[in-house]
């Protein structure tokens, strides 16, 4: 893994530097992060001072687990998987992050301040890197921002505990249904709710700890039962009650 690690000083790529000349775009990207959404212009500008843009090729590593967590990242384009190395030397995919998603933020409350997982680009990706220390100082000055940050961490921890429970108590179908229910967007009464897969199914399979073939079979079974409709990367939830019945069956 180390041989492919990206140096934080190696960011002099023309396309990356061009983004730094678009402050309005980067400000909007920062405000898309939930706990930074209400920051005033001065705070956002302070965070972007000294910020960098990293361009990664597919399968390139951004940082390694246990490395000093000097940067907070936001995905500009592409997708990144978060990988945790176990004590037995195995690599477990925690989840995938995509455009607008932050990564490295868990390390902001870790002592010592190190990355708790490795991060690898799944395809060509660009990420905005913000100084982690500036982010901590900004939260210290903004109690409301810190409150939202801690709330989001609680949600993320709950989701990971749910994932753990599904890995130990449920089969592949249960893990898939749990993912679909979690990703289900709000919709007006009578509207079909749609889960849009923005990452290839093979990456989703890795995230759900199953093979791509198992994922395909599970989707086919749900489609044949009338619970969902599948159109490429678009999954329509046609019978939410049936999906929740599958989840209740393992309790």
Q: Is the pLDDT of residue 16 over 60?
A: no
User: What's phi and psi for 69, nearest 5 deg?
Assistant: -90, 80
CB < 8 Å & 24+ apart, contacts of 81-89: 81/119, 81/120, 81/122, 81/203, 81/206, 81/207, 82/117, 82/118, 82/119, 83/117, 83/118, 83/119, 83/120, 84/116, 84/117, 84/118, 85/118
Per-residue pLDDT of 146-161, as tens digits, reads 999 999 888 888 877 7
**pLDDT at residue 10, as a whole number:** 45
Helix axes 132-141, 143-169, angle to 10 degrees: 120
Question: In this structure, is the dihedral angle defined by the CA atoms of residues 65, 115, 74 and 235, taken in order, positive or negative?
Answer: positive
User: What's phi and psi for 141, nearest 5 deg?
Assistant: -85, -15
First to last CA, the chain: 39
**pLDDT at residue 168, as a whole number:** 64
Per-residue pLDDT of 25-44, as tens digits, reads 899 999 999 999 989 999 99
What string of DSSP letters covers 66-82? Answer: TSB--EEEEEEESEEEE
Task: Give the separation between CA 44 and CA 63, rounded to whole angstroms.
Answer: 24
pLDDT band at residue 18 under the 50/70/90 scheme: low
**Mean pLDDT (whole number) for 195-213:** 85
Cα 236-237-239 angle, rounded to 5 deg:
145
**Mean pLDDT (whole number) for 126-130:** 95
pLDDT band at residue 20 under the 50/70/90 scheme: low
Task: Give the separation between CA 106 and CA 72, rounded to whole angstroms.
Answer: 9
**pLDDT at residue 9, as a whole number:** 41
**pLDDT at residue 251, as a whole number:** 55
Q: Is the pLDDT of residue 124 over 60?
A: yes
Higher-confidence residue of 206 and 131: namely 131
Per-residue pLDDT of 164-201, as tens digits, reads 666 666 688 988 998 899 888 887 777 889 998 877 88
**pLDDT at residue 14, as a whole number:** 54
- Domain architecture of the chain: domains with CATH: 2-165 (2.60.120.10), 170-248 (1.10.10.10)
Which residues pair with residue 103 across a beta bridge?
73
pLDDT band at residue 250 under the 50/70/90 scheme: low
Task: Give the separation between CA 114 and CA 32, rounded to whole angstroms.
Answer: 24
Q: Is the pLDDT of residue 114 over 50?
A: yes
Q: Is the pLDDT of residue 1 over 90?
A: no
Mean pLDDT for the chain overall: 84
Q: Is the pLDDT of residue 7 over 50?
A: no
**pLDDT at residue 11, as a whole number:** 41
Are the C-beta atoms of 6 and 61 separated by less than 8 Å?
A: yes
The region that residue 52 occupies, defined by phi over 0 for left and psi between -120 and 50 for alpha, beta otherwise, is beta
Question: Has this prediction a pTM greater than 0.95?
Answer: no
Higher-confidence residue of 51 and 248: namely 51
């Amino acid at each position: 893994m180390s041989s492919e690690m990206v140096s934080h000083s190696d960011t002099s790529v023309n396309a990356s530097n061009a983004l730094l000349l678009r402050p309005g775009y980067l400000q909007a990207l920062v405000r898309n992060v939930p706990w930074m959404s209400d920051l005033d212009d001065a705070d956002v500008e302070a965070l972007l001072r000294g910020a960098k843009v990293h361009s990664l090729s597919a399968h390139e590593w951004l940082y390694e687990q246990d490395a000093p967590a000097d940067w907070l990242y936001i995905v500009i384009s592409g997708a990144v998987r978060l990988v945790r190395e176990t004590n037995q030397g195995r690599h477990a995919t925690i989840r995938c992050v995509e455009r607008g998603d932050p990564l490295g933020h868990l390390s902001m409350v870790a002592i010592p301040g190190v990355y708790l997982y490795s991060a690898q680009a799944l395809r060509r990706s660009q990420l905005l890197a913000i100084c982690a220390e500036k982010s901590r100082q900004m939260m210290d000055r903004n109690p409301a921002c810190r409150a939202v940050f801690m709330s989001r961490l609680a949600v993320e921890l709950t989701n990971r505990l749910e994932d753990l429970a599904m890995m130990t108590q449920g089969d592949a179908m249960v893990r898939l249904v749990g993912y679909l229910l979690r990703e289900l967007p709000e919709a007006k009464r009578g509207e079909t709710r749609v889960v849009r897969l923005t990452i290839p199914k093979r990456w989703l399979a890795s995230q759900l700890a199953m093979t791509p073939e198992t994922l395909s079979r599970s989707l086919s079974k749900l489609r044949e039962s009338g619970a969902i409709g599948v159109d490429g990367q678009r999954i329509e939830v046609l019978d939410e009650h049936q999906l929740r019945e599958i989840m209740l069956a393992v309790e």
